Amino acid sequence: MPVIVDKAIYRDGSRHGCGDLSDELASLRERGDAGSFIWIGLKDPTDEEFALVNSELHLHPLAVEDAVNGHQRAKMEEYERSLFVVLKTLRYVEATSDVETGEVMLFIGDRFVVTVRHGDGNPLQGVRHRLELESGKLAHGPLAVLHSVMDSVVDNYLVVDREIRRDLEQIEEQVFGSAAGGDANTIYRLKREVLEFRRASQPLAETLHIYLERGSGRHLQDDARVFFRDVADHLRLVNDHVDNYDHLLTDMLSAHLAAVSVRQNNDMRRISAWVAIAAVPTMIAGVYGMNFEYMPELSASVHVGSGEFRYGYFVVLLAMGGICVGLYRAFRRSGWL
Amino acid sequence: MPVIVDKAIYRDGSRHGCGDLSDELASLRERGDAGSFIWIGLKDPTDEEFALVNSELHLHPLAVEDAVNGHQRAKMEEYERSLFVVLKTLRYVEATSDVETGEVMLFIGDRFVVTVRHGDGNPLQGVRHRLELESGKLAHGPLAVLHSVMDSVVDNYLVVDREIRRDLEQIEEQVFGSAAGGDANTIYRLKREVLEFRRASQPLAETLHIYLERGSGRHLQDDARVFFRDVADHLRLVNDHVDNYDHLLTDMLSAHLAAVSVRQNNDMRRISAWVAIAAVPTMIAGVYGMNFEYMPELSASVHVGSGEFRYGYFVVLLAMGGICVGLYRAFRRSGWL
Amino acid sequence: MPVIVDKAIYRDGSRHGCGDLSDELASLRERGDAGSFIWIGLKDPTDEEFALVNSELHLHPLAVEDAVNGHQRAKMEEYERSLFVVLKTLRYVEATSDVETGEVMLFIGDRFVVTVRHGDGNPLQGVRHRLELESGKLAHGPLAVLHSVMDSVVDNYLVVDREIRRDLEQIEEQVFGSAAGGDANTIYRLKREVLEFRRASQPLAETLHIYLERGSGRHLQDDARVFFRDVADHLRLVNDHVDNYDHLLTDMLSAHLAAVSVRQNNDMRRISAWVAIAAVPTMIAGVYGMNFEYMPELSASVHVGSGEFRYGYFVVLLAMGGICVGLYRAFRRSGWL
Amino acid sequence: MPVIVDKAIYRDGSRHGCGDLSDELASLRERGDAGSFIWIGLKDPTDEEFALVNSELHLHPLAVEDAVNGHQRAKMEEYERSLFVVLKTLRYVEATSDVETGEVMLFIGDRFVVTVRHGDGNPLQGVRHRLELESGKLAHGPLAVLHSVMDSVVDNYLVVDREIRRDLEQIEEQVFGSAAGGDANTIYRLKREVLEFRRASQPLAETLHIYLERGSGRHLQDDARVFFRDVADHLRLVNDHVDNYDHLLTDMLSAHLAAVSVRQNNDMRRISAWVAIAAVPTMIAGVYGMNFEYMPELSASVHVGSGEFRYGYFVVLLAMGGICVGLYRAFRRSGWL
Amino acid sequence: MPVIVDKAIYRDGSRHGCGDLSDELASLRERGDAGSFIWIGLKDPTDEEFALVNSELHLHPLAVEDAVNGHQRAKMEEYERSLFVVLKTLRYVEATSDVETGEVMLFIGDRFVVTVRHGDGNPLQGVRHRLELESGKLAHGPLAVLHSVMDSVVDNYLVVDREIRRDLEQIEEQVFGSAAGGDANTIYRLKREVLEFRRASQPLAETLHIYLERGSGRHLQDDARVFFRDVADHLRLVNDHVDNYDHLLTDMLSAHLAAVSVRQNNDMRRISAWVAIAAVPTMIAGVYGMNFEYMPELSASVHVGSGEFRYGYFVVLLAMGGICVGLYRAFRRSGWL
Ligand SMILES: [Mg+2]
Ligand SMILES: [Mg+2]
Ligand SMILES: [Mg+2]
Ligand SMILES: [Mg+2]
Ligand SMILES: [Mg+2]
Ligand SMILES: [Mg+2]
Ligand SMILES: [Mg+2]
Ligand SMILES: [Mg+2]
Ligand SMILES: [Mg+2]
Ligand SMILES: [Mg+2]
Ligand SMILES: [Mg+2]
Ligand SMILES: [Mg+2]
Ligand SMILES: [Mg+2]
Ligand SMILES: [Mg+2]
Ligand SMILES: [Mg+2]
Ligand SMILES: [Mg+2]
Ligand SMILES: [Mg+2]
Ligand SMILES: [Mg+2]
Ligand SMILES: [Mg+2]
Ligand SMILES: [Mg+2]
Ligand SMILES: [Mg+2]
Ligand SMILES: [Mg+2]
Ligand SMILES: [Mg+2]
Ligand SMILES: [Mg+2]
Ligand SMILES: [Mg+2]
Ligand SMILES: [Mg+2]
Ligand SMILES: [Mg+2]
Ligand SMILES: [Mg+2]
Ligand SMILES: [Mg+2]
Ligand SMILES: [Mg+2]
Ligand SMILES: [Mg+2]
């Protein structure tokens, strides 16, 4: 059964090998030692592989269905004899600024924990290792495993949160920096990832709240309960941030689109202003190019001696140049150029 | 009575023929066998047709009114002697990306279930067939039918959810892909379908929640209750998705409109820049076409020998060309061309 | 007292004439017959007219104040000895697509109902008539009147709902149809009517919910209560629709404005492209109209024999035409023309 | 002490002079006459002035701090021995369409009421006067004063509400009327005033709700409680309206900006179309002004007899005119002119 | 241990030196004097430095983790033997209009308070000083310190609130003033600061509400409880304001972008109108520059005597001028110039 990643019995917080599942479970139940339990770790089990494990543990069929199907919402569902927990894990891919969602499921029974992991990047191995070094915590039994996994998943949310904030600040700089860059595409994509983040963290906060206030978490002893409340508290922090990112990205999208539109309109205005300036000498030249044989304002120079001839021509050229310069200055003053 | 699609008695999970409705009902009630019941399936009954069935079952007139009228909101309404349930079924039409809404209504009594189906595409037949193969479940009585129908309706929401997501991803690719296509119309239409989806799934989640927390669902035994909570949980997943689709489509609409506007403005800027470039030689040509008899800058070439004549003309042409090339380069540098 | 539209005593569901108000009331109270009551119908009473009725019934002064002032929010207010209900009636004016709001108020006492109607278009007459045909229902006493009025008001909301949806679909067709028409004005106006609708239906849903959950409606017998829950349920349906209309209109406004802007920008681009095409022959003509006496590229034809003369001229004309056709094709290819 | 605007003892609803504050208070408390109390009216008291009054009444220091500071949120705060109420008064300034906010504070004790008024335009004088004419109401003691002040403040909200609606309708007419006027500035300013309105009325609705449901208002006798519920009800009406105004103004801003943009774009299109029309004869004239000595299409007329000469010239002029008229008609048909 | 900023024992409200922490704590606990406690003030402690203090106080490890990590959400977390409070302090930097967030944490035990301060600008020193002058308040024990710190933090929110409002009004003036300035960048930045503000104040309001309604704050005596409710009340005021600022800034962004777009479009229209005016004489000049040898409308003057020659030329010039003036007037009338 290569689908079983790890399997061990924990007694008073220390690890022991685990033989046949049903025999071990029976002997654990017989002894009635509250802190002892079997911890089985699975990875991407198929229907049949899961059935093998389940034949010994008698998990609830609805929980099994969810565990095999995957793609569940984060939740803590209490069945008669076990607690079924779905956690969405997040992973940030630096190269594409993508948030990827994985899944960890836990079946918490009286004398066993089954952790099921879908996809890569789930840090369950690290959790088991750290817990084995904290025998005091392990001695609290299966719920200690649940807390450690949750804590690790939520701590990881904080890491992804930090990465998202970094991306957001980078976009902010692009949008509001001197270059006035950025593009709607990037902003939309980050928003999408933020939504993906929220889809993982918000349902968990809800379900944990319900577990602690109305579910069996209500009956936890205060010293254990406070650990789950710590996780809930960090989730609230993360959810606050994620909400803020969403709002800021919406505002940024507006501001960015505004900046782009303003810049493009400015360009249009500048181009049009130049065209307007060019239109004036074109028009004047058109008038003097009308080929009338006698033009009063030019006649003095055209038909008389060549000394005055020069003067008339320059008057027209100067008039053109002067009007252009005047227009240029007027446009500059109104900020069009 | 062709309006009755199917009719049978289920005893201990196995199907038996059903004779006269009131006789059978009376005998079922007499025996007091909790898991036995009659299941009547109707399709698009008219007022009169329904009255025939109802004359035996004595359903509540308000429920009957809703069942005959159709177009109800999803709900679970508890009457004194029966539970009336309205479910909205969804169907995705690939050709038009349209979500179509149908209706299934259930009257759950002590010894009977009546399922009423409006419109096509409701998979009730499949449900009955599957249930008849699971006699263990059927033996739980009428509520087992309710759960199976609900589960099937909600599983189907997940199918439509997947189709909607596929459409959304397609639009995303159009809007953000290299071609920067997509159109507001398509986005709006998908939003409309998403709203239609939500109109079906959100009220069901509400009413199921109320049934389980404050209604008679509260008194269900834990092993039955957990099955309805499974449905509620999948509904929450669907509703989360639908909310996300709505938000993403809103953002996409903004981003798309921005992209269209940016592209159009870019085109305008490019055209204007070309016009501006063309305006310069036109102006210069206008000046030299003014027909002055003596033009200082040209006189050397016009009135003197033909060697210099060529040179003057080329100077003007080169000046025009040079200015055009200079403008072209300047416009390129500022990203206008 | 012409302000009294109708007045009658109902005993066991059948109508009897009503003499002096206080005498009749006293005799009804004496007999202690639960289903007997006086039903007085008023229309637009003035302060003084209302005082005449009130002198016999001793209604609460605050309720009287509201009834005389009008323009109240829909509500169910419980006073020590009576229930005061304000309902907003809606009427759809086809000609202007306008939703008009009227008001019906009810004072529900132990042995009397007073219905006060403001404005036209309130279907109270129809309600009394229908009730008088259902003596079984009337025998339930004053609350049967309340239910019938509410049911009739809410059924009418469904009618207006249908009209609004029709208007919305018409606008959708205008906005998204091939003609891409519609105008912001119409969309805004429909939104305003939708808000007017919601202003009537949403407070009624709220107040009815409170009446049924926390008010004296809580103490109604189940068989009466279920009738008010039916009204509440239809109200929820209406309110869902109205919310949807509001969202769809907002989206449609965005999409419409986008469509208008896109169309206008397309027009601008097309005009500019034509101007750009025309700018080229103008420029070339400007160059060849410069009146240089010797033009290298033309000299061969101008100063030499007439055979070549023609050719040169056509070369220029063909160049102009060719460039224009080339530009036209290029612009078509990029979708500008 | 000019800060004391008015001071009186009310016994059984009738007014009596008030001597030394502590003596009168002691004698009122001794007699134990529930409806008798002192009512002190202050206006803009300084820290020291307030201390003088307080030395006799022993109000709670936190309430005193708020009363002296002013600028509080509307609230009803219950202290051990008194109720402290902050009301925001509104005043509509017709000239500037400005909503101005004032403040009235009340300290409600067992045998006293202190009303503190900040700013002008607070109708407390009118309230005292009206109450003194209603000795029946006054005999209910200090809470009668509280109700009268609240009722008067909220009635005044309804007045301001009406003015705001009038302004809104005026803007609607400007924006959607034939002239298509209005400006973003005015819309924004009205929105700001609407927010100022909501800042006054919404917290009062909240705090009054809490007072009646969870505070000591819960213990009021039904006949008194119903008066406060009447105020709460009118507040709900006002808050509904204010919410609607806010939404309508947002929509109107969108619609107005759309209208402006559409009008400006129409103007641009019209101007561009005219420029495009003018470009054609300019281009043609440019071609015929190229001064070729032999132009095939003109040669027949230029070089041949004068009879044909005229014809050729008119052909060109007519061609120009024809093209212009053709373009003009085409542009009209596509709605550009 | 330089990390300890201040350390003292308070007995009956007066300050005493504090020797060895565990000895002093033991003696305080022995005596059972409710109002006596040790107050230790820390600033930016490292993990190790904090461990030294904690070795004597046995704080909860989860609270210690948060205190050392920093960057927590505002909260009041109750552990078995202590209350852990996180407050976010705000500081307004005038130069950059930036809101900066700091952190103060408090551990409230039976006989001790530990205040931990992160970053500068936290006014804890002032709080201790003011409290030492109010020995009556100090005698209430550790919760008096908690209230004073909270009150000071929230009073400071009001200061920042005022500064933010001032910035907002300044932007309003820029956006809506005659110059119609302002920029999207500034508006976005202020929105960001407003979000930062809300991130500090809103969670505190939530957590304080929960502490007072469902936490141990419920068991406070009324005279102490009212002080925390005063803080909660001021928080509500601040949160109302912050929400308003957010909405106003959104509206202002829309209005500003509209104003910019309108101004730019006006400029474009003006420029285009001038170009259109210039196009007319250019066109006319083009026609008369066509060099036809015989032009009917000019022939009278060109080929006949020079007296009439002048007249013809002026007619054309006047026609040009007249059309330009006519166009100018028409454009002015339609508001384009
Ligand atoms: Mg992604
Ligand atoms: Mg992703
Ligand atoms: Mg952690
Ligand atoms: Mg940790
Ligand atoms: Mg990154
Ligand atoms: Mg534009
Ligand atoms: Mg559809
Ligand atoms: Mg559909
Ligand atoms: Mg399912
Ligand atoms: Mg299934
Ligand atoms: Mg599809
Ligand atoms: Mg499931
Ligand atoms: Mg209307
Ligand atoms: Mg209307
Ligand atoms: Mg009905
Ligand atoms: Mg009906
Ligand atoms: Mg219609
Ligand atoms: Mg119904
Ligand atoms: Mg103002
Ligand atoms: Mg104001
Ligand atoms: Mg009133
Ligand atoms: Mg009144
Ligand atoms: Mg006004
Ligand atoms: Mg009233
Ligand atoms: Mg923590
Ligand atoms: Mg900052
Ligand atoms: Mg900051
Ligand atoms: Mg304070
Ligand atoms: Mg203070
Ligand atoms: Mg500042
Ligand atoms: Mg205060």
Full 3-state SS string of chain B: CCCEEEEEEEECCEEECCCCHHHHHHHHHHHCCCCCEEEEEEECCCHHHHHHHHHHHCCCHHHHHHHHHCCCCCEEEECCCCEEEEEEEEEEECCCCEEEEEEEEEEECCCEEEEEEECCCCCHHHHHHHHHHCHHHHCCCHHHHHHHHHHHHHHHHHHHHHHHHHHHHHHHHHHHCCCCCCCHHHHHHHHHHHHHHHHHHHHHHHHHHHHHHCCHHHHCCHHHHHHHHHHHHHHHHHHHHHHHHHHHHHHHHHHHHHHHHHHHHHHHHHHHHHHHHHHHHHHHHHHHCCCCCCCHHHHHHHCCCHHHHHHHHHHHHHHHHHHHHHHHHHHHHCCCC
Across the C:D interface, residue pairs with CB atoms under 8 Å apart total: 121
Q: Mean pLDDT across the stretch C305-322?
A: 67
Which residues from B are below 8 Å from A265, CB to CB?
265
Q: Does D271 contact E272 at a Cβ distance shorter than 8 Å?
A: yes
Q: Mean pLDDT across the stretch B172-176?
A: 85
Query: Closest ligand to D261 CA?
Result: 6
ipTM: 0.82
Amino acid at position E239, single letter: N
Which residues from D are below 8 Å from E320, CB to CB?
none
Q: How far lies B287's CA from each of A317, C230, E284, in Å? A: 9, 86, 16
Query: Closest ligand to B170 CA?
Result: 11
Residue list, CB under 5 A from ion ligand 28: E 151, 155
- Check pLDDT > 90 for residue D100: yes
Closest CA of chain B from A150, distance in Å: 20
- Check pLDDT > 60 for residue B304: no
Angle at A102 between CA A100 and CA A103, to 5 degrees: 160
Position D244 scores a pLDDT of 92
Q: Does C269 contact B268 at a Cβ distance shorter than 8 Å?
A: yes
Beta strand pairing status for B112-118 and B37-43? parallel
- Check pLDDT > 80 for residue B83: yes
- From A244, A286, A336, residue closest to E199, measured CB to CB: A244
- Check pLDDT > 80 for residue D8: yes
Interface test with D, best of C267, C304, C336 (most D CBs within 10 A): C267
Across the B:C interface, residue pairs with CB atoms under 8 Å apart total: 122
User: Could you tell me the CATH number of the domain that includes residue C213?
Assistant: 3.30.460.20
Confidence tier at B293 by pLDDT (50, 70, 90): low
pLDDT, tens digit (0-9, with 9 covering 90-100), for E233-275:
999 999 999 999 999 898 888 778 777 877 888 888 888 888 8
- From C262, C283, C291, residue closest to B260, measured CB to CB: C262
Confidence tier at B306 by pLDDT (50, 70, 90): very low
- Check pLDDT > 90 for residue B284: no
CA of D207 to the centre of ligand 31 (A): 15
Interface test with D, best of E225, E251, E316 (most D CBs within 10 A): E251
CA of E151 to the centre of ligand 29 (A): 6
DSSP conformational letter for E165 = H
CA–CA distance, D103 with D121 (Å, rounded to integer): 10
pLDDT, tens digit (0-9, with 9 covering 90-100), for A176-203:
776 666 778 888 899 999 999 999 999 9
Residue of E nearest to A248 (CA): E192
Which residues from B are below 8 Å from A267, CB to CB?
269, 334, 336
Q: Are C171 and C193 in contact (CB under 8 A)?
A: no
What is the per-residue DSSP string for C155-180?
Answer: HHHHHHHHHHHHHHHHHHHHHHSTT-
Kindly state whether residues C36 and C131 are assigned to the same domain: yes
Confidence tier at D122 by pLDDT (50, 70, 90): low
Copy the structure tokens of residue E220. 């406070």
- Check pLDDT > 80 for residue C202: yes
Average pLDDT, chain B: 86
Choose one of E260, E280, E315: the last residue of a domain: E260
CA–CA distance, C176 with B213 (Å, rounded to integer): 44
Kindly state whether residues E152 and E284 are assigned to the same domain: no
Kindly state whether residues D150 and D23 are assigned to the same domain: yes
Strands across the sheet containing D98-108: D14-16, D4-11, D37-43, D112-118, D98-108, D83-93, D75-78
Kindly state whether residues E192 and E302 are assigned to the same domain: no
pLDDT, tens digit (0-9, with 9 covering 90-100), for A49-69:
888 888 888 899 899 989 888
Amino acid at position D66, single letter: D
Q: Does B282 contact C279 at a Cβ distance shorter than 8 Å?
A: yes
For residue E204, how far is the Cα from the chain centroid?
17
Higher-pLDDT residue of A295, D254? D254
- Helix then strand then coil, % of chain E, to nearest 5: 65, 15, 20
- From E230, E252, E336, residue closest to D188, measured CB to CB: E252
- From A77, A271, A310, residue closest to B273, measured CB to CB: A271
Question: A64-81 b/e with 16+ CB inside 10 Å = b?
Answer: bebbbeeebbbbbbbbee
The structure tokens 């003609």 sit at C179
Closest CA of chain D from E299, distance in Å: 11
Least confident of A108-122, C119-133, E19-33: C119-133
Confidence tier at B230 by pLDDT (50, 70, 90): very high
pLDDT, tens digit (0-9, with 9 covering 90-100), for A266-323:
888 888 888 888 888 888 887 777 666 556 655 544 443 444 445 667 777 888 888 8
| Environment class of D216 (CB within 10 Å of its CB; exposed 0-12, middle 13-18, buried 19+) | exposed
Residues 6+ apart with CB under 8 A from C94: C163
Which residues from C are below 8 Å from D286, CB to CB?
281-282, 285-286, 289
CA of B234 to the centre of ligand 9 (A): 7
Copy the structure tokens of residue E202. 């809103």
Copy the structure tokens of residue E89. 């302090």
| Environment class of D181 (CB within 10 Å of its CB; exposed 0-12, middle 13-18, buried 19+) | middle
CA of C172 to the centre of ligand 17 (A): 13
Kindly state whether residues C166 and C308 are assigned to the same domain: no
Interface test with B, best of C176, C290, C291, C320 (most B CBs within 10 A): C290
Q: Mean pLDDT across the stretch D40-64?
A: 88
Copy the structure tokens of residue B109. 């009594």
Q: What are phi and psi of C5, to 5 degrees?
A: -75, -40
Domain that holds residue A293: 261-334
For residue E73, how far is the Cα from the chain centroid?
18
Kindly state whether residues D117 and D30 are assigned to the same domain: yes
Predicted model pTM: 0.84
Position D255 scores a pLDDT of 79
- From E60, E265, E282, residue closest to A226, measured CB to CB: E60
Which residues from A are below 8 Å from B240, CB to CB?
73, 199, 203
Which residues from D are below 8 Å from C96, CB to CB?
none
Q: Mean pLDDT across the stretch A212-232?
A: 89
Q: Does D294 contact C306 at a Cβ distance shorter than 8 Å?
A: yes
What is the per-residue DSSP string for D31-92?
Answer: HT-TT-EEEEEEES--HHHHHHHHHHH---HHHHHHHHH--PPSEEEE-SS-EEEEEEEEEE
User: Could you tell me the CATH number of the domain that includes residue C320?
Assistant: 1.20.58.340
CA–CA distance, A77 with A55 (Å, rounded to integer): 21
DSSP conformational letter for A120 = S
Sign of CA dihedral C231, C236, C237, C241: positive
Q: How far lies A269's CA from each of C269, D333, E259, E261, in Å? A: 15, 29, 16, 12
Query: Closest ligand to C198 CA?
Result: 14
Q: Are E38 and E27 in contact (CB under 8 A)?
A: no
Choose one of D210, D225, D260: the last residue of a domain: D260
Choose one of A260, A294, A311: the last residue of a domain: A260
Confidence tier at D175 by pLDDT (50, 70, 90): confident
Position E312 scores a pLDDT of 67
Kindly state whether residues B245 and B289 are assigned to the same domain: no
Q: How far lies E108's CA from each of C3, C99, E82, E84, E146, in Å? A: 71, 61, 5, 6, 8
Position E215 scores a pLDDT of 87
Q: What are phi and psi of E105, to 5 degrees?
A: -120, 145
- Select from C336, C187, D257, B179 the least CA-distant residue to A258: D257
- 3-state SS, residue D18: coil
Q: Are D184 and D253 in contact (CB under 8 A)?
A: yes
Q: Does E176 contact D187 at a Cβ distance shorter than 8 Å?
A: no
CA–CA distance, C257 with C239 (Å, rounded to integer): 27
CA of E172 to the centre of ligand 7 (A): 43
Amino acid at position E259, single letter: A
- Check pLDDT > 70 for residue A123: no
Position A178 scores a pLDDT of 63
Beta strand pairing status for B98-108 and B83-93? antiparallel
Average pLDDT, chain C: 85
Q: What are phi and psi of C109, to 5 degrees?
A: -110, -170
Kindly state whether residues A13 and A130 are assigned to the same domain: yes
Which residues from B are below 8 Å from A321, CB to CB?
none
Kindly state whether residues C152 and C244 are assigned to the same domain: yes
Sign of CA dihedral C193, C197, C200, C203: negative
- 3-state SS, residue E288: helix
Confidence tier at E196 by pLDDT (50, 70, 90): very high
The structure tokens 């189940």 sit at C222
Kindly state whether residues E181 and E305 are assigned to the same domain: no
Q: Does C281 contact D286 at a Cβ distance shorter than 8 Å?
A: yes
Position C208 scores a pLDDT of 96
CA–CA distance, C56 with C25 (Å, rounded to integer): 9
- Select from A316, D280, C317 the least CA-distant residue to E287: D280
Least confident of A284-288, B139-143, C99-103, E272-276: A284-288
Position B310 scores a pLDDT of 52
Kindly state whether residues A265 and A253 are assigned to the same domain: no
Q: What domain count does chain B have?
A: 2
DSSP conformational letter for E167 = H
Q: Are A52 and A21 in contact (CB under 8 A)?
A: no
Q: Does A292 contact E291 at a Cβ distance shorter than 8 Å?
A: no
- From E222, E276, E286, residue closest to D80, measured CB to CB: E222
Neighbours of A173 (CB within 10 A): 13
CA of C155 to the centre of ligand 16 (A): 7
Q: Does A313 contact B294 at a Cβ distance shorter than 8 Å?
A: yes
Higher-pLDDT residue of A74, D313? A74
Q: Mean pLDDT across the stretch C205-214?
A: 93
Q: Mean pLDDT across the stretch B138-161?
A: 94
- Check pLDDT > 70 for residue C185: yes
Residue of D nearest to E266 (CA): D264
CA of D237 to the centre of ligand 20 (A): 21
Neighbours of E173 (CB within 10 A): 13
Position B305 scores a pLDDT of 40
CA of C232 to the centre of ligand 8 (A): 26
Which residues from E are below 8 Å from D316, CB to CB?
290
Position B180 scores a pLDDT of 60
Least confident of C225-229, C299-303, E18-22, E130-134: C299-303
Residue of A nearest to B233 (CA): A73
- Check pLDDT > 90 for residue D228: yes
Which residues from C are below 8 Å from D292, CB to CB?
288, 302, 313
Kindly state whether residues C230 and C85 are assigned to the same domain: yes
Q: Are B191 and C251 in contact (CB under 8 A)?
A: yes
Confidence tier at C295 by pLDDT (50, 70, 90): low
Least confident of A6-10, A250-254, C227-231, D151-155: A250-254
Q: Does A276 contact E275 at a Cβ distance shorter than 8 Å?
A: yes
